[in-house]
Structure 1
Amino acid sequence: MPLTAQNAEFLQSLADAGAQPFHTMEPVQCRQAFDALLLSMPATTATVADISDSTIPGPGGDLAVRVYTPDGPGPFPALLYLHGGGWVIGSLDANNNLCTELSARAEAVVIAVDYRKAPEAKFPAGSDDCMEALRWIAGNAQQLNIDPARIAVGGDSAGANLSAVTAQRTRDEGGPRLCGQLLFYPMVRLAGGPTASMLANAEGPLLSRTDIEYFVNHYVGKGVEARHPYCSPLLADSFADLAPALVQTAEFDPLLDDGEDYARALKDAGNDVVLTRYDGAFHGMLCFPTALDQSKEMLAEAIDWLRKRFADN
């Protein structure tokens, strides 16, 4: 099917406003443009009891985190949320709508971390930061009013890559244990030839093959590091004993095959996996949860899945 009418109209409005392809901008300019776009979206009507900013120790210095606490007595389940943006762009402010929705509707403490970004900090800096944030969450469960047996990780695009890597690293490094991984249109294969979806959707919409190459080159360049499983989690030696996963993909996404191949790898290894492809959707949908009906649909599925995962643990 084609893009939904609303999605097509939204993308045309971006083009009419003069939106530039990511790869045509320097990282600083790209960050500013991406944040400006997301911050221009309608504010969420969801409410939580508290939103607080703080810093935690990280392997390369202090990391900024934003903690969303829902109404209620707790202890709550927790979601470590890792934003997308090709490991180069994205911010806590730009993801405020999404994290507020997740916290309020899943009735969970959501901890968003401002991990180090490329090209200033290349692989594995971002992944190391995410792991340290997870350890901090588990180690400060009482302070955060969370149940350490009910911690999940989630993210979109590059954030989904970091979420998948974090799930693998917790298995390999002996914890903390995760009860779920929420992967919105993940990029999980940074090395090798182009997939069928990469070729079919090479010109986007919103994210093109050239944009992907721009982000990957900033993150890892063209060296062998791109084949490291903590960079390309689809190239791991084993997918056994990983946290249950929800993987959402978009029909008109160059990364469609990445997400669906990863879901199959997880399922073939015996993990609990739900895979949902959204027809008529494009990469980056979850950035617009207050603007697009299909974004709301994807988010509703994710929240329902999270609530069930939390209830089962």
Structure 2
Amino acid sequence: MAELNPKMKYFLENLVPAYPDGYTPTLEDIRSRASVSFGEVELVHKVEDRTIQGPESLLPIRIYTPEGDGPFPVLVYFHGGGFVYGDLESHDAVCRAIVNASQQIVVAVDYRLAPENPFPAAVHDCYAAAKWVFENAEELNGDPGKFSVAGDSAGGNLATVVCLLAKEKGGFSISKQVLLYPVTDSFNPEKYDSYRENGSGYFLTLENIGLFSKLYVQNEEYAFHPHAAPMNAEDLSGLPPALIITAEYDPLRDEGELYAEKLKDAGVPVTVRREEGQIHGFFNFFSMMDSKGDIEEVYETIGSFLNEKEVSKS
């Protein structure tokens, strides 16, 4: 394995809250940790907050538009946070960086969170938001013919599940999916080496994952539902080309890479990029430390993938 990235090592040693030995962080602890303020963010030509009608409530969205005449390709972004925390602010820096790397419109979605709104509330919100953005793309100066989805961690799960739903229900077409260290399986620590190797000491712990899973999927009947764990989908054929980025020191590394293999086996073009020396959440953490430039190449990879006219299998 590569050496742990020095800035991620600094982050873990100095910026992650320390709890007493034997203390299990509560959801309130985790949510308060997630409200850490970020450093300076990149400038984007236009940023607009709006609300749209969701399945059961109004959904806040944030629309980032690059400079230029358009119409621009459109990317809908679903934030991470274990399905239990995160919002438009927590991933503002990441969305801005993607806009500038891709020169695409990015629409971030503030979906409902568990445990107050367990599965499938977030799935329903994200599908409804993606459909709304697709149907209103021209009003946003976007091109519905170049329409993609993306997300990190829990948001990566939601992005690929939205692709499954778009395939199942029809009505709108997704060109590409970008999954950043995604959740793709049910909580199976015995199944993946990366859970054993990275389940403690690297920010995202086995205890956190177990808590998030329990709070999100509260009905055991849904535990292996493909809309909760897309790894269990029987047919992944016909899904949009995917870019999947994993992190070497992440418990979720192996399930993200195995999902990539399942997509490939189903005939879906997939590009996989494992970031050596990185931990789960590194996109946010570099932004938090005003070090986004350290992963400029990763953002350039995202921008290049989104703007490729044709995606080949790899």
TM-score strictly above 0.5: yes
Structure 1 distance, partners of 2:305, 2:276, is 19
2:131 counterpart SS class: helix
Distance 1:5 1:94, change over 3 A: same
Which of 157, 161, 180 in structure 1 is aligned with 2:153? 157
Distance 1:18 1:66, change over 3 A: same
Partner of 1:282: 279
Structure 1 distance, partners of 2:106, 2:32, is 24
Percent same amino acid at aligned positions?
A: 36
Q: Any residues of structure 2 matched to 1:1-313 within 5 Å, and which?
A: 1-15=2-16, 18=18, 24-36=24-36, 39=37, 41-44=38-41, 46-192=42-188, 194=190, 195-221=192-218, 223-290=220-287, 291=289, 292=291, 294-308=294-308
TM superposition score normalised by structure 1: 0.92
After superposing the two structures, state which structure 1 stretch, 99-108 or 157-166, moved more.
99-108
Asked whether the 8 Å contact 2:189–2:195 carries over to 1, the reply is no
Deviation for aligned residue 1:288:
2.8
* Structure with greater helix share of residues: 1
Post-superposition Cα deviations, 1:128-180, rounded to whole Å, max 9, x if no partner, equal: 00000011011112211100011100000000000110111111111411110
Deviant stretches of 4+, over 4 Å: 309-312
Post-superposition Cα deviations, 1:114-140, rounded to whole Å, max 9, x if no partner, equal: 000000000000010000001101111
Q: CA RMSD in A?
A: 2.1
TM superposition score normalised by structure 2: 0.92
Question: For structure 1, which runs of at least 5 residues remain unmatched after alignment?
Answer: none
2:12 counterpart SS class: helix
Q: Which amino acid aligns with 2:13?
A: Q
Asked whether the 8 Å contact 1:191–1:232 carries over to 2, the reply is no
Question: For structure 2, which runs of at least 5 residues remain unmatched after alignment?
Answer: none
